[in-house]
Amino acid sequence: MTATTVTVKSSTPSEAVPMTPLPWRQLGILSLVSITEPIHFTLVFPFIYFMVRDLHVSDDIRYIGFYVGILAAAFSVAQLATSMVWGILSDRIGRRPVLLIGVAGSIVCPILFGMSQTFAWAVVMRLAWGMLNGNTSTIKTMVGELTDESNQAKGFATLPLCWNIGCVIGPVLGGLLSNPVQNLPWLFGSSVLFKTFPYLLPCMCCSALSFLAWVFNYLYLEETMDDHPFRDDDGNATEEEEVGIVEYQEVMEEGHLIPEADGYPFYGSVHHSTISGGGDHISCTVSSHSADTVPDETSTLLAHTSTMIQLSAGTMVDITTLHDPLSLSGATTPTNTVIRTDLPSKTYGAYRHSSKESAPSASVGLSIALTGDRLRCTIGYALVALLTVMIDEMFPIWAATQPRLGGMGMSSRAIGGALSTAGFLVIYLQIYLYPKAQLIWGTLRCFQYGVALCAVVFPCFAVLHRLEFIDPVVAPIVHLLGNDGLKVFTWVVMLGLLTLKEWCGVLYYTSICILINNSVPDRRYLGTVNSVSYSAASFARTIGPAISGMLWTWSLTSGYPFPFNYNCIFVATGTLALITYLLSLTWDARLDRRAFSKSA
């Protein structure tokens, strides 16, 4: 006879396997786009104030900052609104076409933005620039598909590295090449074009970099979705038909049919109808509900084939089938059986099913993205994006503030030097140290250790300015160091804290990218899940600067004592990091392993 059982796959970790060589050629091509992404974001920062001023949007300079904020936020707001669309589209038409469209938009929009003659045109072009720039989530998806569990730590480590490199290049281009008629008169002093459009040159250079990236992607980038799980080697949809006696073995009362498909427990009934001669039909009715426990393993009958069926409600069911030639004799009687899966049961019937799976559904993809491990990882991604943008936004402001107000009184050159020094250290941490840490601790613990360390490091910045006010009687080392020595000591401590801050970012940012990919039960929806998480992070980055700015202003003007004085912003970010750490303790350890196989 033919016996069919619904099984619960074991969640026991498999043995360690040797590291698979990374596809460096494909990762290198993706890195070109990854570097251009932060360039597009940061390019305008050095000249955006002067651009808005020259557009004469307001005669009162006190209001220029307001319009600068609108123009600066337009890019992130546009990405927030469209990143999910690009992710869903990449699940349907492939990663490569979406990436090429996004890079093409990054070629055209900067030039049109640089030619702005009105503030409205500048905002529209900046919005279009962000709308057509859905590359970040697509790149993360492609890296997830190009790597496996053995090498994903090194593969994903390239993404923050590229971001940091781009964040250095963007402001340099924007600062050096804006208004070239005045700043570079020996080269562009007689240029009518750049006199008319003083901010076009850096935008043209940005477009040129994107054009170079587009050419390399068009010529050499391979589609990572060629291996659809619902297509055969020739790219055609597969179909399978089985007819015969069916035995439905015991199903657990409540829990996940597939541990990796968290959030989609099977609960309801399966209807089998048969007709004489072996003709039959199977239909399933299910409803999704939450379940907290996942069985470690369930013994099943010996199986010859295993078919993954996606039900109408988005539930993934693993049906294992045993074949017996006698079952195809057609000696069956008409029956109509209802099988309850919420209770142990055994029922016989006959069935016919097709293993042909439909193309990715946007509604199913969003349902997967907004439930279970995916939702938890998305919330974690948004929280670390929020605390990162808050501390990054506030560090230069705090460092430049006078010591009597709680700052360090540093010059812009000193601030830039400190950030650049810490930035160079990130390269080593990202390339060499993170893969080793991930191998020892695991991805989830790397994330947890990163946010836990933030909860300690961020508040330490607030006490740096107190070093120069320490009484030598209390700390004799201050008397030994002298004023100059104390300044050097303060610098060393600051660089140490900045380095620890960057190390935290390496730990939690790289890890959360891996965890999000690991949480996806079906690789067909990688693009959707990554785009949803990126939208959440974009929203956090949009509101983060406003929150930190208001907190800083309020803390300096409220007159309240610690922790509501100048320490407030550092205490707030440290508390946010602690909350993120506590939330991550509720995450399942299975996130260290992929829910989908690379070859699936």
Distance, CA of 369 to CA of 360 (rounded, Å): 13
Give the mean model confidence (pLDDT) for residues 67-77. Answer: 82
- Asked whether the beta carbons of 472 and 577 are under 8 A apart, the reply is no
Q: Contact at 8 Å (CB) between 414 and 433?
A: no
Q: What share of the chain is helix, strand, coil (3-state, %, to 5)?
A: 60, 10, 30
The residue extents of the domains of the chain are 24-220, 233-358, 365-592
- Higher pLDDT: 177 or 413? It is 177
In terms of pLDDT, which residue wins out, 313 or 540?
Answer: 540
- Position 122 confidence tier, pLDDT thresholds 50, 70, 90: very high
pLDDT in tens, 557-599: 877 777 777 788 889 999 999 999 999 999 988 888 887 655 4
pLDDT digits (tens, 9 = 90+) for 409-444: 777 667 767 777 777 777 777 778 888 898 899 999
pLDDT of residue 484: 66
pLDDT beyond 60 at 352 = no
- What pLDDT score was predicted for residue 293? 33
Average pLDDT over every residue of 137-141:
87
Portion of the chain with pLDDT greater than 90, in percent? 21
> Using CA atoms in the order 70, 75, 78, 80, what is the torsion angle rounded to 10 degrees?
-100
**Half-sphere exposure (Cβ direction) of 171: Cα atoms closer than 13 Å:** 9
Q: What is the mean pLDDT of residues 186-191?
A: 86
Neighbours of 502 (CB within 10 A): 20
Cβ–Cβ under 8 Å, residues 286 and 311: yes
Confidence of residue 215 (pLDDT cuts 50, 70, 90): very high
pLDDT tens digits, 256-311: 333 333 433 333 333 333 333 333 333 333 333 333 333 333 322 222 333 333 33
CA nearest neighbour of 438 among 195, 180, 212, 149? 149
What separation in angstroms does the CA of 324 have from each of 75, 243, 245, 303, 438?
Answer: 61, 10, 9, 12, 47
The more confident residue out of 446 and 478 is 446
Find out whether 334 and 276 touch, Cβ atoms under 8 Å.
yes
The lowest-confidence range among 37-41, 111-115, 543-547, 593-597 is: 593-597
The rounded distance, in Å, linking the Cα atoms of 535 and 366 is 12
186 in Cβ contact with 57 (< 8 Å)? no
Instruction: Judge whether residue 517 has pLDDT over 80.
Output: yes
Q: Which residue has the higher pLDDT, 467 or 176?
A: 176
- Write the pLDDT tens digit of every residue in 372-391: 889 999 999 999 999 988 88
Structure confidence at residue 326 as a pLDDT band (50, 70, 90):
very low
Count how many Cα atoms sit within 13 Å of the Cα of residue 362 in the half-sphere of its side chain: 9
Q: What is the pLDDT of residues 447-466, one digit of tens each?
A: 999 999 999 999 888 887 76
Decide which of 346 and 565 is more confident: 565
Residue 469 banded pLDDT, cuts 50, 70, 90 = low
Residue 143 CA to residue 159 CA, distance in Å, equals 9
Q: For residues 117-128, give the mean pLDDT.
A: 93
Q: Decide if domain 24-220 falls under CATH 1.20.1250.20.
A: yes
List the one residue out of 378, 506, 492, 392 whose CA is nearest residue 438: 506
What pLDDT score was predicted for residue 48?
Answer: 83
* 439: three-class secondary structure by DSSP: helix
Edge to edge, the sheet with strand 316-322 lists 3-6, 316-322, 305-310
How confident is the model at residue 573, as a pLDDT?
92
Percent of the chain with pLDDT over 70: 69
Q: Which fold has domain 365-592?
A: Growth Hormone; Chain: A; (1.20.1250)
Q: How many CB atoms lie within 10 A of CB 513?
A: 26
Between 64-73, 168-177, 201-210, 526-535, the lowest mean confidence (pLDDT) is in 64-73
pLDDT at 409: 79
- Which residue did the predictor score with more confidence, 381 or 246? 381
Is the Cβ–Cβ distance between 371 and 264 less than 8 Å?
yes
- The lowest-confidence range among 70-74, 201-205, 400-404, 483-487 is 483-487
C-alpha distances (whole Å) from 40 to each of 206, 216, 319 are 7, 18, 48
Say which range, 39-48, 107-116, 173-182, 399-408, has the weakest mean pLDDT: 399-408
Question: What is the pLDDT of the chain when averaged over all its residues?
Answer: 72
Do 365-592 and 24-220 have the same topology in CATH? yes
E strands within 132-244?
Answer: none
390-409 pLDDT per residue, tens:
888 778 778 877 777 777 77
Angle between helices 152-177 and 412-428 (to 10 degrees): 150
Residue-level pLDDT at 453: 95
pLDDT of 342: 39
- Residue 44 is predicted with a pLDDT of 85
Q: For residue 118, what is the enclosing H or E element?
A: none
Radius of gyration for the chain, computed over Cα atoms and rounded to the nearest angstrom: 29
Q: For residue 357, which phi and psi values (nearest 5 degrees)?
A: -105, 145
Is the pLDDT reported for residue 183 higher than 80? yes
